[in-house]
Structure 1
Amino acid sequence: MKIAQNYKIWFSISSVVMILGLVMAIVSGINFGIDFTGGTLMQFNIGQDFTVDEIKEITDKFELKADILHAGVDKKEVIIKTKKDLPNQKRIEIFNAFKQKYNLEDSDFRQAQQFGPAMGDEIRNKALISILLASVGMLLYITYRFQFRFGAAAIVALVHDTLIVLSLYAILKIPVNSPFIAAILTIVGYSINDTIVVFDRLRENLKYRKRETYFEIADTSIKQTLTRSINTSVTTLLVIGSLYIFGVESIKEFALPLLAGVLTGTYSSIFIASPVWALSKSMAKR
């Protein structure tokens, strides 16, 4: 099994996805949610079970292009998020449509909020700072515990995972919102954990396989940890997949990027991190 030695294939696959995502982001832009663009949030107490499609039948009449979320302890309230800046009169008009269909009282209009894009800028900036600080901290720790090249390869894998997930969101036009940021930070932690397992075995093999090339040692290490990596990822995906299938919309917003991130993190720990390390060591030896 020559995974590390075939690094050009894996690097090319990742590059194609990231380039396609960049092109889509430039051409049609990233689909930022209300948390980043600003807009209006309304919450109504429906008082009975309802489906997202039922709510969209009403919101589509007002051309809101809204995100619909279940709310309340018994999931009988609805949260409507739209990027449009709705005046008070328009909000009342929308509520009256719900009032007529579900026989609501005025008190069932729970709340209405408006968000400005400044909040989105703050969330984005804090997320970038968090990822940067986490990356620097992990680079220092891995350099201390292993070597600098291990740390650098791990950071490359982290950047790879983040860009791949962002590219998938740009390609599929999935809304980017606050749960997405939380999921990205979770992905960073998960990805580095999987990568460290491979690197730990790689470090051990370096002591006893001095006649082999760095790519051969990397392939051996990947093979020895492959079953563990796959089993861990499958069990994690089963849990996250269940959350996505059976969870409410707010949970799905968090679970979806996690699904993409776990898959990408597993891929990068096998096909990106170790080949990057082997490539950098081979180039330094020349």
Structure 2
Amino acid sequence: MFDILKKKWIFFGIAIVLSLISIVSLIFQGFNLDTDFSGGIALTYEINGEFTTGDITSLVNDAIEGKKASSIQKAGSDVIVKVGYDKNMTDDERAEFSASVKESLTTALEGRFGAPVVDNENQNTEAAAEATAAPETTAAPDVAAAAEATALPSATPDSLEATSRGTLTSGVRLKSLDDISPSSGQELARSAMWMALLACAGILIYVTIRFEFTSGCVAIIALVHDVLILLGVYSLFRISVNINFIAAVLTVLGYSINNTIVIMDRIRENTRHSRKETYGEIANNSIWQTMTRSINTTITTLLTIGMVYIIGVSAIKAFALPIIIGIVVGFFSSVFVTGPLWATWRDSAVKAKKANSASKAGAKKSK
């Protein structure tokens, strides 16, 4: 049986290096904040034709000079493009920026997929029914409305807004343009931070009551390690951070503690029945006694969330990816960090107690 405790400093070193890389990235690079936090505009286009997110990304980045989309999400035939505002923009500058981005993106997408052509047959039928139900309406406006409904739209951004009704048969049209305020996302981030702190405090209290204070501290250290590395991965690889990420982080906090609690429970049972085993031996035996359970739960959960990530739409993938990272990191910290850290902490406490007793005994003899 592999002795994890003998290699504990290797695992501690891996955890420390990954944590330091995450901290450095967070300090000097920060996050790639989505418009949920930075503020910006969200444009929803309907495209009649085959396309991938990569196709849209290259078109968008070429169309917006000196600016990149914070996120691009595909949902069926729709694509949602989010572009963040620059800091310290005034209201007038934001309005001008929004109009410029709208015109540039629409022109670029129409150049790739064509101007919108809409089938207004259903809309004309409804108009005819309304005309029959209301005979007092004059004929001239009905004729004008029918002519306007059957006319092909032009290739301007304003015409795209006019084609929001009816079925798009070819080309691309703008379905909506939303202005996103950063205040709601920032308020959610503050709430999530407080919830995470309260969750950690609750876990510390529960584990201390159920097990001991040392186990509670070790569990919190492991949780901080997991979340820190998750944040570092998003910062280092410039993955867009949106509201889904906040929900995923809170989910990881709840999941990561599971394996740690199982190992701590086995450590408590083995400590009660131990005779001559050291804390290191108790921790190593406890880890291996629960290893099958830890591996099985991790793999089954990864298979499930992995399939969600593979077949899900962009919004679902944005939620699933941080959970996948958190599960992997949580397994590492629960198995290779918490047990060895607990044993090291207890050994240090015993050594300190013996040293204190020896110093007191020496002081009495000197008197």
> TM-score scaled by structure 1?
0.91
Q: Which runs of 5+ in 2 are unaligned?
A: 86-93, 117-159, 165-172, 352-367
- 1:88 paired with 2:109, answer no
SS at match of 1:111: strand
CA distance in 2 between counterparts of 1:131 and 1:89 reads: 40
1:272 match: secondary structure: helix
1:257 deviation in Å?
0.9
Query: One-letter code of the match for 2:10?
Result: I
Aligned partner of 1:250 in structure 2 is 315
Tell me the equivalent position of 2:298.
Answer: 233
Q: Give the AA of the match of 2:73.
A: L
Residue-pair matches, total? 283
Unpaired runs of 5+ residues, structure 1, are none
Distance 1:261 1:142 in 2: 21
Partner SS for 2:240: coil
Say if 1:5 and 1:275, in contact at 8 Å, map to a contact too: no
The structure 1 residue matched to 2:279, chosen from 192, 201, 214, is 214
CA distance in 1 between partners of 2:190 and 2:344 (Å): 33
Distance between the aligned counterparts of 1:130 and 1:240, measured in 2?
Answer: 24
Establish whether residue 8 from structure 1 lines up as the match of residue 9 from structure 2: yes
Q: 8 Å contact 2:63–2:104 — kept in the other structure?
A: no
C-alpha contact 1:215 1:279 (8 A) present in aligned 2: yes
Q: In angstroms, what is the RMSD of aligned CA positions?
A: 1.9
Residue type at the aligned position of 2:27: I
Name which of structure 1's ranges 119-128 and 202-211 shifts more when overlaid on structure 2.
119-128
- Residue 34 and residue 272 in structure 1: after superposition, are their counterparts in 2 closer, same or farther (change >3 A)? same
Instruction: Give 2:156's aligned residue.
Output: none
Higher relative contact order (CA 8 A, sep 6+): 1
The answer to whether 1:153 aligns with 2:218 is yes
2:167 paired residue number? none
Structure with greater Cα Rg: 2
2:347 maps to amino acid: S
- Tell me, in whole angstroms, the C-alpha distance in 1 between the residues paired with 2:230 and 2:100: 39
The alpha carbon displacement at 1:222 in A equals 0.2
Q: Is residue 180 of structure 2 the alignment partner of residue 179 of structure 1?
A: no
Task: Label 1:225 to 1:83 Cα distance change in 2 as closer, same or farther (>3 A).
Answer: same
Letter in 1 for 2:20: I
Deviation at 1:218, TM superposition (A): 0.3
Residue deviations 1:83-119, cap 9 Å, x none?
2453235414423443452432431432222234333
Distance 2:57 2:223 in 1: 38
What SS does structure 2 have at the residue aligned with 1:80?
A: strand
The corresponding residue for 2:51 is 50
Deviation at residue 150 of structure 1 after TM alignment: 1.4
The answer as to whether partners of 1:95 and 1:109 remain within 8 angstroms in 2 is yes
* Mapping of residues 19-168 of structure 1, within 5 Å: 19-63=20-64, 64-66=67-69, 67-71=71-75, 75-84=76-85, 85=94, 86-99=97-110, 101-104=113-116, 105-106=160-161, 107=164, 108-168=173-233
Q: Distance in 1 between matches of 2:241 and 2:323?
A: 13
**Structure-2 separation of matches of 1:219 and 1:135:** 26
Which SS does the other structure have where 1:196 is aligned?
helix
Give 1:125's aligned amino acid.
Answer: R
SS of residue paired to 1:87:
helix
Identity %: 41
